A and B are shown apart, each in its own frame.
Chain A
Amino acid sequence: MGDHHHGPAKGLSRWLYTTNHKDIGTMYLWFSFAMFLLGGAFAMIIRAELFQPGMQLVEPAFFNQMTTLHGLIMVFGAIMPSFVGLANWLIPMMIGAPDMALPRMNNWSFWILPPAFLMLASTLLMEGGAPAFGWTFYAPLSTTYAPPSVTFFIFAIHILGVSSIMGSINIIATVMNMRAPGMSYMKMPLFVWTWLITAFLLVAVMPVLAGAVTMMLMDIHFGTSFFSAAGGGDPVLFQHIFWFFGHPEVYIIILPAFGVISQIIPAFSRKPLFGYASMVYATAAIAFLSFIVWAHHMYTVGMPVAGELFFMYATMLIAVPTGVKVFNWVTTMWRGAMTFETPMLFSIGFLVLFTIGGFTGLMLSIAPADFQYHDTYFVVAHFHYVMVAGAVFSMTAAIYFWLPKWTGRMYNETMGKVHFWVSFIGFNITFFPQHFVGLAGMPRRIPDYALQFADFNMMSSIGAFIYGASQLLFLYNVIAAIVSGERVSDEKVWDGAEGLEWTLPSPPPYHTFETPPKIEEQPAH
């Protein structure tokens, strides 16, 4: 075994043909960061137009294209691929496997993504403009009334669905088959657990999304009427199908984030994760509940009252396992010996802001109150607290946490802390006032608004520019670390870090764990 270690190929072909989980992980991460900046640029256009009442910079039709592409690119281009990249880098190293189970498929599932997003972005240049029906693309606005570019949008969704399904199958196959001897399921790091459950969710719901866009395609081009009442169809059917995908989707985004936080908080508390088993069960419970709560996005469509009650009760139940997770994290910190390096700061930021997002989520679950919240900026504030402060903050924490392991070089700690504080403050200036304007009656997805919303919107825009600019600092810090960061001599990097990946050199060699490691008897978490 030991004498034919080989490194990567040279030049572009290394990246095009690679089947190495570390290379593919790297490509996913860079690609998702590029999409994060693109989706962020669209957000800046949105906030610039909303800086003051009145139409100043863009036309309403273009504004709708921006909100639509911002949502689609952030969800499908930035957050999801970034966690797949993290999974690629970490899962084999965490379970003591030499690579992913299906390395060629791994290459393919990454390389179909860039063309899909190139196609989606190119719709901006098409006649009639890009999709302008919101990232939830409700029919018939997205079918009968859609611009011609909708067909390209449908194709792009199909491709990235294929990519997600292949990525998930790969993760499931890897976790089930390639754990090192002695690495039982209940010894796996929580990040691996959350991704395993996420992968099952993806395999279950991405085909549903594919079904929804295929029905749209049929309605638009082949004369069917799935979503048109005039032909005997039902526009509400679209929403049921979409949210049957869409609600598990938000857990697909947040569960790996839970996994990351469950790795980082113990490391910097120098204390094992509290309630490992209950974390696993809570994750599974959330995953199960995610399938039976979809219509809480649709309280105002006119469901029968029995349906409303069912979805309200089921949705409220999600607070239980989510609460368990938050309590476990706080108890992990309790009586630890904490230090506050950048990854820990972002994790605590996650914990505080995600909990606030959880509270507003609980408020939104109350159906009669939701009649007032639905489709207002209150909802926008809620889901940015869980998507940005939840998923993006945890992703940022993960990059700072594992970057020294991946590259063997340390980022600039001071700059990292500045990045955290500017992000944290900028984020709250952006999104906290949106609770107020939403409750006061400002609908989402409007390019112009009544005068009483003006002050908070200006505040929100200023915060957004601050938050946006702080991400450039992050980019600089990462590049500077890779190019000229101080070398990390220690394998562990962080003195409280636990897990197999910290037993490898920093940076790890191109191929790792070609011989399975020995798992010690103590729990790996």
Chain B
Amino acid sequence: MLNARALAAAAFLPLAANAQNQVNMSTGVSEAGAVITELGVEIYDLHMLIFWICVVIGIGVFGVMLYSIYAHRKSRGVEPAQFHEHTGVEIAWTVVPFLILIGMAVPATSTLLEVYDNDDAEMSILVTGYQWKWKYEYLDADGENVAFFSNLATSQEQIYNTDAKGENYLLEVDEPLVIPVDTKVRFLITANDVIHSWWVPELAVKRDAIPGFINEAWTRVLTEGVYRGQCTELCGSYHGFMPVVVHAVSPSEFDDWIAAKQGSAAADAALAAQELSVDDLMARGEDVYNSSCLACHGANGEGGLGNAIAGSAIAMGGLDSHLNVIVNGVAGSAMQAFGAQLSDVDVAAVTTYQRNAFGNNTGDVVQASDVVSYKEG
């Protein structure tokens, strides 16, 4: 099908003058010419096959129509024919399309069966959609599981046009999913709240993330690189702001990365046992706020989709009620239970931050131990 791909490129050439304006589906092949995933190439070829069949039929139908519009017009003085049926022709144009469809169904079926072949995966990653971020959990990594959230990294200033937009505007995250190449990775996809859909066009993987159900998908990436995608099922206000970024790295790099991840999880646990300084808590809290709270509560705590935090009775009132909102969420609203999403240190840091930033200035310092004792009641 390489030929078809070259033809497709030629057909779209005038429109593709600006290299930024991609006009066709991801070919499954990197710019350097390396196959990213075999399934992606196969799906692209299938797509182009159907496309070219449609083009040929279209040329036939529109050709006849245009000729007729040219030749059979009253202004040329033609007399209209009066024929109005022809059994042979009518049977032919019922049967022939049917045969063409069978020709399409055969490759489509075999590709679909491959899409569904989730067996023999070498590793499994649980992907959970949240409003509006993804959580990745490596299920069978050695030792303890590694889990983290992947948030949009594009700043509000870029989105609201006060800063220049970066190259990967809206397609960048704070922590990407990292997977090894040449490894069959199985994704178990679910959601925590509403339905999301996890999509990386270049890997040709898209599957809905449905609360209460677990879907399966898989990929085997052959070429190292960064592959970007987005949530593709409307999931509320910030549906357009939950990208997917996948780093495909060599297996040895992956091993190093996962070991480092496990190490930092251990470090976090150690941190939870310590007393942190106000400055450390505030610095960490600001990071947590920006990735987890800002979308709804505003860059300056002024509120938006969520309530204002600046001057709020909760953020400036009793610590327990403040922690209750952060840890347990607010039922029936978009405020999630962050106790299950953030580490105790992060909850402590963001609580400290909220109680002292935006002019709240309560002077309260919340340590991880406070969060632990709150959770234990």
B residues 94-110 with Cβ under 8 Å of A?
Answer: 94, 97-98, 101, 104-105, 108-109
Given contacts A301-B208, A443-B199, A449-B170, contact A436 B15 (CB under 8 A): yes
Q: Is the CB of A368 within 8 A of B80?
A: no
Cβ of B334 < 8 Å from any Cβ of A?
A: yes
B105 → chain A closest CB, angstroms:
6
Cβ of A140 < 8 Å from any Cβ of B?
A: yes
B263 → chain A closest CB, angstroms:
34
Q: Is the CB of B47 within 8 A of A330?
A: no
- A229→B207 CA distance, assembly (Å): 18
- A500→B194 CA distance, assembly (Å): 54
Question: A140: which B residues are within 8 A, CB to CB?
Answer: 193-195, 211
Contact residue among B69, B201, B216, B332 (Cβ-Cβ distance under 8 Å from A338): B69
Q: Is the CB of A348 within 8 A of B69?
A: yes
- A368→B207 CA distance, assembly (Å): 12
Q: Which A-chain residue is minimally distant from B333 (CB atoms)?
A: A145
Cβ of A363 < 8 Å from any Cβ of B?
A: yes
Given contacts A334-B68, A369-B46, contact A448 B105 (CB under 8 A): no
Cβ of A305 < 8 Å from any Cβ of B?
A: yes
Cβ of B341 < 8 Å from any Cβ of A?
A: no
Q: Is the CB of B78 within 8 A of A324?
A: no
> For this complex, into which size category does the number of interface residues on chain A fall?
35 or more
A residues 180-233 with Cβ under 8 Å of B?
Answer: 228-230
Given contacts A305-B116, A339-B74, contact A320 B97 (CB under 8 A): yes
Q: Is the CB of A375 within 8 A of B233?
A: yes
Q: How many residues of B contact A (CB 8 A)?
A: 99
B173 → chain A closest CB, angstroms:
13
Q: Which B-chain residue is minimally distant from A440 (CB atoms)?
A: B22
Question: B22: which A residues are within 8 A, CB to CB?
Answer: 436, 439-441, 452
B residues 36-69 with Cβ under 8 Å of A?
Answer: 42-43, 46-47, 50-51, 54, 57-58, 61-62, 64-65, 68-69
Task: Give 1 or 0 for each of B201-237: 1 = CB within 8 Å of chain A CB.
Answer: 1001111101111011000000000000111111111
Q: Which A-chain residue is minimally distant from B167 (CB atoms)?
A: A451
Interface segment out of the listed B153-161, B285-293, B349-357, B360-368: B153-161
Q: Is the CB of A339 within 8 A of B75?
A: yes
Q: Is the CB of B80 within 8 A of A371?
A: no
Question: A274: which B residues are within 8 A, CB to CB?
Answer: 83-85
Cβ of B328 < 8 Å from any Cβ of A?
A: no
Q: Is the CB of A441 within 8 A of B208?
A: no
Question: B305: which A residues are within 8 A, CB to CB?
Answer: 61
Contact residue among B43, B54, B84, B208 (Cβ-Cβ distance under 8 Å from A369): B43
Q: Is the CB of B101 within 8 A of A316?
A: yes
- A264→B142 CA distance, assembly (Å): 71
A128 → chain B closest CB, angstroms:
10
Q: Is the CB of A336 within 8 A of B72?
A: yes
Q: Is the CB of A64 within 8 A of B204?
A: no
Q: Is the CB of B197 within 8 A of A375?
A: yes
Q: Is the CB of B61 within 8 A of A326?
A: yes
- A305→B85 CA distance, assembly (Å): 42
- A506→B307 CA distance, assembly (Å): 63
Cβ of A236 < 8 Å from any Cβ of B?
A: yes
Q: Which B-chain residue is minimally distant from A448 (CB atoms)?
A: B240
A residues 415-471 with Cβ under 8 Å of B?
Answer: 436, 439-441, 443-452, 454-456
Question: B111: which A residues are within 8 A, CB to CB?
Answer: 368
Highest count of chain B CB atoms <10 Å: which of A59, A141, A308, A374? A141
Q: Is the CB of A145 within 8 A of B193?
A: yes
Question: B167: which A residues are within 8 A, CB to CB?
Answer: 451
Contact residue among A269, A305, A330, A351 (Cβ-Cβ distance under 8 Å from B80): A269
Interface segment out of the listed B23-31, B175-183, B265-273: B23-31
Q: Is the CB of A441 within 8 A of B234?
A: no
Q: Is the CB of B232 within 8 A of A374?
A: yes
A residues 284-326 with Cβ under 8 Å of B?
Answer: 300-302, 305, 308-309, 312-313, 316-317, 319-320, 323-324, 326
Cβ of B115 < 8 Å from any Cβ of A?
A: yes
Contact residue among A133, A366, A439, A455 (Cβ-Cβ distance under 8 Å from B234): A133
Highest count of chain A CB atoms <10 Å: which of B61, B114, B161, B235? B61
Cβ of A482 < 8 Å from any Cβ of B?
A: no
Given contacts A274-B84, A336-B72, contact A55 B236 (CB under 8 A): no
B41 → chain A closest CB, angstroms:
12
Q: Is the CB of A275 within 8 A of B90?
A: yes
Contact residue among A326, A327, A451 (Cβ-Cβ distance under 8 Å from B169): A451
Secondary structure at chain A's binding surface: helix, strand, loop or mixed? helix
Highest count of chain A CB atoms <10 Å: which of B23, B108, B304? B108
Q: Is the CB of B108 within 8 A of A368?
A: yes
Given contacts A337-B72, A337-B78, contact A308 B112 (CB under 8 A): yes
Cβ of B5 < 8 Å from any Cβ of A?
A: no
Cβ of B146 < 8 Å from any Cβ of A?
A: no
Contact residue among B65, B82, B112, B159 (Cβ-Cβ distance under 8 Å from A54): B159
Q: Is the CB of A60 within 8 A of B237?
A: yes
Contact residue among A134, A320, A445 (Cβ-Cβ distance under 8 Å from B98): A320
Cβ of B73 < 8 Å from any Cβ of A?
A: yes
Q: Is the CB of A56 within 8 A of B74?
A: no
Contact residue among A55, A230, A273, A320 (Cβ-Cβ distance under 8 Å from B160): A55
Q: Which A-chain residue is minimally distant from B206 (CB atoms)?
A: A371
Q: Is the CB of B97 within 8 A of A141?
A: no
Highest count of chain B CB atoms <10 Å: which of A56, A372, A374? A372
Given contacts A60-B238, A274-B83, contact A141 B195 (CB under 8 A): yes
Q: Is the CB of A229 within 8 A of B21?
A: no
B254 → chain A closest CB, angstroms:
25
Cβ of A508 < 8 Å from any Cβ of B?
A: no
Given contacts A375-B197, A449-B170, contact A271 B82 (CB under 8 A): yes
- A441→B21 CA distance, assembly (Å): 11
Cβ of B113 < 8 Å from any Cβ of A?
A: yes
Given contacts A145-B193, A334-B64, A363-B54, contact A300 B208 (CB under 8 A): yes
- A436→B21 CA distance, assembly (Å): 8
- A272→B83 CA distance, assembly (Å): 7
Cβ of A87 < 8 Å from any Cβ of B?
A: no
Contact residue among B20, B161, B304 (Cβ-Cβ distance under 8 Å from A451): B20
Contact residue among A229, A320, A371, A445 (Cβ-Cβ distance under 8 Å from B211): A229
* Extra inter-chain contacts (7) besides given A448-B241, A450-B171, CB under 8 Å: A64-B234, A138-B234, A271-B80, A317-B98, A326-B61, A336-B72, A363-B47
List the interface of chain B (C-beta within 8 A of A).
15, 18, 20-26, 42-43, 46-47, 50-51, 54, 57-58, 61-62, 64-65, 68-69, 72-75, 78-86, 89-90, 93-94, 97-98, 101, 104-105, 108-109, 111-116, 131, 158-161, 165, 167-171, 193-195, 197, 199, 201, 204-208, 210-213, 215-216, 229-241, 304-305, 332, 334
Question: Which 3 A-B residue pairs are closest in the complex by CB-CB distance?
Answer: A229-B212, A446-B240, A302-B215
What are 25 residue pairs bridging A and B, where the CB atoms are less than 8 Å apart in the complex? A54-B158, A55-B161, A141-B235, A145-B131, A235-B212, A270-B74, A271-B84, A305-B112, A316-B101, A335-B72, A335-B83, A337-B79, A338-B69, A340-B73, A366-B50, A368-B114, A372-B47, A375-B197, A436-B15, A439-B24, A440-B26, A441-B230, A445-B234, A450-B169, A451-B169
